[in-house]
Structures are given as C-alpha cells and as structure tokens.
C-alpha cells in the first residue's frame, strides 16, 4: 500500500547534488532506536555523551563537539569562535563560505573574507601570503584564520602533507587553520587514511564536520581539535539558532555514521560511482573532463545546447555556463545502473 506521504518517485535519481539523496537506512534505524522515552534536552543526553567518546577515538584526542543543523551554521560558528571582531579569514575564491552561503559569515558573524584565486580550489602557503599581511595596520581587517575545504568545491583533495604545510605556515604567523569538512569522508576514502591523518594529526584547529552529504538527515558538527583555538561556542551556538533542544536525534545520526564504518562505506561508494561516471563519459566525442576526479564530483565541459537537453532527463547544475562547464555529483545511493543510464543519455544527446 502506498503511503499518502510519499509524494515523489523513489526510483528517480539525479546528478545535481549529494544533498538530493535521502537518509541512509542505517541512520533511520538509529533514529528509531533513539526515539521513545525521555532524555535530557540541549545535549545533556547519553547519545551526545557517547558522541564525544567516539570522536575522541576518531581524532586521537579529547575534542569538544557541538552538533548543529547545517553546514552553513557549522562554518559560521567555527569562524566566529576563532576570531575577534576585527579578524579576517583567508580562503579561496571558490570557497563555499564565499560563494554559497549568501554572505552568512559577513552578515551573521561580521567576518571579513580575504579571497585568493586558484585553479584547483586549493590553497598553498604561497597563496595564503597573497592575503596574509598587514598585521598591526588599523586600516585593514587582520588575517587571523586560514579556511580550507576538504574535499574542495572543485572536487580536489588536500593530502595530509598539504594540510600540515598550511597549518605550520598559518601557526608560524599567529593564524589558525579551519577546515570546512562538508565532504570530509570522501577525502578519507580517496586518500585511504583515517580522518585524523589530515585533521588533528595535520594541525587543523577547528573542523566543520559534514554529515548531511553522506546520508544524514541534516546533522553536522563543529569539532574543536585545539582547545585554545576557539572560545564562546556554547553561547554562539545558541545566539545563532543552532542549538537543538532534542539533540539526541542529531547526535545519534553522527554516531550511526562514525561509530562503525558507515561513513567510509558510503563515501567509498559515492567516489567509485564518480569514477565510473568519468570513465563512461570521458571517451564521448565533445566531452572534456576539466578537473581530476578525486572524490564524488565530475566536472566536465559540453558542447553548446547539450546540457539543457540532457537536463530534461536528469537534473544537474551548470558550473560555468559561459564555458559550458557542468558539475555531476554522486551520492551514497547512486547505482551503477543510474550512472550507465546517464552516460547513455549523454551519448544520445551528443549524437543529435
């Protein structure tokens, strides 16, 4: 019997965003198991306590964990807690905090973003120095934090050595390192290393941990890896409307993801589907893959008109419409059959 609350076709898939995917069945089971009875609200529950223990295991040290509702909230809170009112953040021009958060760091937190152009969306110590200057100049916002995204907005991945080089460079200048980890699991799957290898072990001070893109129902977290790098988070989280009263339902999702290997299984699958998609479309005449596929994203350039015709069958987004570049994303529930059907549809449109 069909539920009156099912208003969509669950067989229909897209390549627009890993946010389009539903909730992983194992996460739904965890939510159901955490339901019933009473637990203390606002984080004083057994699930949030257990989450601190699990994350200490993942990152190899005691950490402070602040579950929140979404990635924008995690980023704003992280940066706000790391900076005085006169502080600024060095990031790439591609950074999600700069291009896709509708000015939230500036409007909500009052943070100045100092952006740097880069062809692969990755910062290097030399690129940081394009904006890391002017300390003591009262006319300039003070660059005090470097923010990087893992994996980047172009699907590229920082190695542990690259993160360590950035951390050392920032720390030597009195700056802190923030990591936007919206697709952190995909990076670990690509690098085949533990999460700690390119976060706590590599010198990251504060981490925005993403779960929604890896199968959660809107659950993220701010994770403070260096206690001296952040302050005021309990108050800022409430001020910024990111404090969940029934926090057990945020924490249990993160537990379901991180206590076992669900985070890694799901990320590996999404990455594998992106590689399958790349291999299927790269040989097609007129298709040019424009970024190395290092996670669950494929960026490609198509002939004029092809993307619009293909979108009648599969939804996806333009990345650079003027250059004919598009982005195709895979998720934990992307199937081989869906990838093959998409590649076949693209071939048909190219042959028109």
C-beta separation of 133 from 107 below 8 A: no
Question: pTM of the prediction?
Answer: 0.96
Reported as a single tens digit per residue, the pLDDT across 292-347 is: 999 999 999 999 999 999 999 999 999 999 999 999 999 999 999 999 999 999 99
Residue 3 has pLDDT above 90, yes or no: no
C-beta separation of 177 from 158 below 8 A: no
pLDDT score, position 161: 98
pLDDT score, position 339: 98
Q: What angle, rounded to 10 degrees, do the helices at 248-258 and 46-59 form?
A: 30
Residue 120 has pLDDT above 80, yes or no: yes
pLDDT score, position 134: 97
User: 47 phi and psi, to 5 degrees?
Assistant: -70, -40
C-beta separation of 257 from 50 below 8 A: no
Domain boundaries, the chain: 25-258, 262-350
Reported as a single tens digit per residue, the pLDDT across 173-232 is: 999 999 999 999 999 999 999 999 999 999 999 999 999 999 999 999 999 999 999 999
What is the mean predicted confidence (pLDDT) over 67-80?
98
Per-residue pLDDT band for 2 (boundaries 50, 70, 90) equals: confident
Reported as a single tens digit per residue, the pLDDT across 85-110 is: 999 999 999 999 999 999 999 999 99
What is the mean predicted confidence (pLDDT) over 116-141?
97
- The span from the CA of 20 to the CA of 329, in Å, is 10
Local structure of residue 222 (DSSP, 8 states): E
Query: Is domain 262-350 given the CATH code 3.90.1150.10 in the classification?
Result: yes
Q: What angle, rounded to 10 degrees, do the helices at 336-350 and 262-281 form?
A: 20
C-beta separation of 350 from 287 below 8 A: yes
Topology (CATH level 3) of domain 25-258: 3.40.640
pLDDT score, position 202: 98
Residue 352 has pLDDT above 90, yes or no: no
Name the residue among 47, 58, 87 with its Cα closest to residue 225. 58
Reported as a single tens digit per residue, the pLDDT across 152-171 is: 999 999 999 999 999 999 99
User: How far are the Cα atoms of 98, 110, 161 from residue 89, in angstroms, in the given order?
Assistant: 10, 11, 22
- The span from the CA of 73 to the CA of 89, in Å, is 16
Name the residue among 90, 154, 98 with its Cα closest to residue 325. 154
**How far does CA 66 lie from the centroid of its chain?**
16
Residue 1 has pLDDT above 70, yes or no: no
């Amino acid at each position: 019997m069909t539920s009156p609350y099912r208003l969509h076709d669950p067989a229909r898939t897209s390549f627009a965003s890993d946010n389009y995917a539903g909730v992983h069945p194992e996460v739904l089971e965890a939510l159901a198991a955490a339901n019933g009875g009473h637990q203390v609200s606002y984080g004083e529950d057994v699930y949030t306590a257990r989450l601190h223990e699990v994350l200490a295991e993942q990152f190899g040290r005691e950490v402070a964990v602040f579950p929140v509702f979404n990635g924008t909230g995690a980023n704003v809170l992280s940066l706000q807690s790391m900076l005085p009112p006169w502080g600024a953040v060095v990031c790439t021009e591609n950074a999600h905090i700069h291009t896709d958060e509708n000015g939230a760091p500036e409007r909500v937190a009052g943070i100045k973003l100092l952006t740097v152009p880069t062809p692969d969306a990755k910062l290097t110590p030399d690129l940081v120095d394009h904006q890391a200057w002017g300390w003591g100049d009262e006319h300039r916002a003070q660059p005090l934090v470097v923010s990087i995204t893992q994996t980047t907005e172009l699907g590229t991945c920082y190695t542990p050595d690259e993160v360590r080089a950035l951390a050392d460079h920032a720390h030597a200048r009195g700056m802190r390192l923030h990591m936007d980890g919206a697709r952190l699991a995909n990076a670990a799957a690509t690098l085949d290393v533990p999460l700690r290898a390119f976060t706590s072990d590599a010198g990251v001070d504060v981490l925005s941990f993403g779960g929604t893109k890896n199968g959660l129902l809107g659950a993220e977290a701010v994770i403070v890896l260096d206690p001296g790098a952040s302050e005021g988070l309990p108050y800022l989280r409430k001020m910024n409307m990111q404090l969940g009263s029934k926090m057990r339902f945020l924490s249990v999702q993160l537990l379901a993801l991180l206590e076992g290997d669900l985070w890694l299984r799901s990320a590996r699958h999404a990455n594998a589907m992106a590689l399958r998609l790349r291999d299927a479309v790269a040989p097609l005449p007129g298709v040019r893959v424009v970024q190395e596929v290092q996670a669950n994203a494929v960026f490609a350039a198509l002939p004029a008109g092809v993307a619009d015709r293909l979108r009648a069958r599969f939804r996806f987004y333009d990345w650079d419409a003027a250059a004919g570049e598009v982005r195709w994303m895979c998720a934990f529930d992307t199937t081989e059959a869906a990838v093959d059907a998409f590649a076949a549809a693209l071939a048909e449109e190219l042959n028109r």
